[in-house]
Amino acid sequence: MRDISYLTDNYDEKIAEINKFDAPLNFVFITDQHNRMNEFSVAENRVPGMTEFEYAVDAINSIQYILDRCPKISMVINGGDMGNDYNPDPQEIIKSHKEVMEALYNLSVPVHTCIGNHDNALGPCTDEGRDNRDYVILPERMHELCMKYNPTPDNYYYIDLEEQNFRFVFLDVSDGRYNQDKNGQYQGWMYEISNKQAAWFETEALNTDRKIIVFCHGPVSNKGIYGTENYPQGIKPYDDLINGPRVHYAMVNNKNVVCHIAGHVHYDNLLYDDGILTVTTQSSLAWAWCPACPERKCKAITETAFDVFSIKDNVVKITRFGAGEDRVGCLQRL
Ligand SMILES: [Fe+2]
C-alpha cells in the first residue's frame, strides 16, 4: 500500500467534529472516482498542462482511517462512475472498475453502489467508432462487480435502517435497453432509468412509513443544479435523465422523501427542492473542471473529495474530506 499520510494527517480535526456531533446516523458518500482516468490523460497527453494524477484507491483506503475513529459510521455509499472508460483496452477498463470495488469492499463497513452513466463503458468506445460489444459491461456483470450488498437480482434496491427509521434507496442510471442493432452494436451513452425501475420506485421503494433518502448517480432533476462542464453554462443538454421527471414527480409527491444525494455533476450543490434536501458532492477524481471548483492538487489533501453525512433530528452535517467545504442542511420535511 502506498503512503497515504498526506491525506490522513489532515483528518483528525474533522473526525473530532463528527464524533462531537454524535449523530445516530452517519455514512460516507464518495462519488465519481473515474479511477485511472487522470493517469491515462497524462500518459496520452490528453489534457494540455496535466502532469500529475491520483490513484482512486488511496482516497478509498484513507476512509478506513475515518471508520476506525468514527464507530458510528455504518456504511459507505459509492455514487458511481468508478473507472476509466476512455481507455481503448477493455481489459484496462474493467481492471479500473475492479480496483475501486475491491478497495471499497476491503473497508470494514458495507458498501452500497449507485451505478453511473460511465460504468457500462458504452459511451467513449461508441464515440470512437469501436466495436462496442468488446467493451460493454452488461447489467449482469455489473451486478457481480458492485452489488455485493444488494439483496435483489436487479441493480437498484433499497435497505431499511430499522433503528434510525430510514430507508435508503439506490437507483441505477445505466438501466436502458441493452438490445443490439443489426451490426450487433449496443447504443452509446446511456443515462436512463427503465420503466420497470421507475414503477418499482413508485410502488415498492416509496411504499414505507420510514423517512426516505434517494441516492442516485446524478440528480433526478437538473433544476437548480450546477455542474459537469462547459463553464460557465454547467449542465449539458444531454444531462437529462430518461425517466428522471417521472421519478422526480414521485419523490416530491411522497412526503416521506426527505433527502436526495447524487454525484455526476462534479460540483457541490445544496438546495431545497420542494422541501427535499438535495445535495451533490464534488468528484473524488482530482479534476477542477471550472474556476468555481475547489483547486485540486495531487499528493495533497485536495487530491480527493468525499463527504461524511451525519444526521441528527432534522440537521444534516456534511463534513468534507479533501477539496471543498463542510456543509450543513436541514431535513425540512421532517
Ligand atoms: Fe456521471
Low-confidence ranges of the chain (pLDDT < 50): none
Q: What is the Å distance from ligand 1's center to 258 Cα?
A: 23
Q: What are the tens digits of pLDDT across the range 149-194?
A: 999 999 999 999 999 999 999 999 999 999 999 999 999 999 999 9
In sequence order, what are the beta bridge partners of 78? 30, 113
Closest CA to 301 of 107, 18, 77, 54: 54
Q: Looking at residue 240, what is its pLDDT?
A: 87
Where along the chain do its domains lie?
Answer: 5-330
- The CA 81 to ligand 1 mean position distance, Å, reads 6
> What residues are neighbours of ligand 1 (ion), with CB under 5 Å?
81, 116-117, 264
Q: Are the CB atoms for 225 and 219 separated by under 8 Å?
A: yes
Query: For residue 18, what are the β-bridge partners?
Result: none
> For residue 15, how far is its CA from the centre of ligand 1 (angstroms)?
29
Cell numbers found for residue 174: 445505466
What is the model's pLDDT at position 234?
Answer: 80
Distance 118 CA to ligand 1 centre (A): 6
List, for residues 106-150, the tens digit of each pLDDT value. Answer: 999 999 999 999 999 999 999 999 999 999 999 999 999 999 999
CATH architecture group of domain 5-330: 4-Layer Sandwich (3.60)
Ligand 1 centroid vs 115 CA: distance in angstroms?
9
- Compute the distance from residue 157 Cα to the ligand 1 centre, in Å: 19
> Ligand 1 centroid to 9 CA: how many Å?
30
User: Whole-angstrom Cα distance, residue 291 to residue 231?
Assistant: 8
Which residues on adjacent β-strands are paired with residue 328?
Answer: 317
Instruction: Give, for 248, the enclosing helix (H) or strand (E).
Output: helix 244-252
How far, in Å, is the centroid of ligand 1 from the Cα of 2?
28
Q: In sequence order, which ranges of the chain are alpha helices (DSSP H)?
A: 5-8, 12-21, 37-44, 56-69, 90-105, 123-127, 139-146, 195-200, 244-252
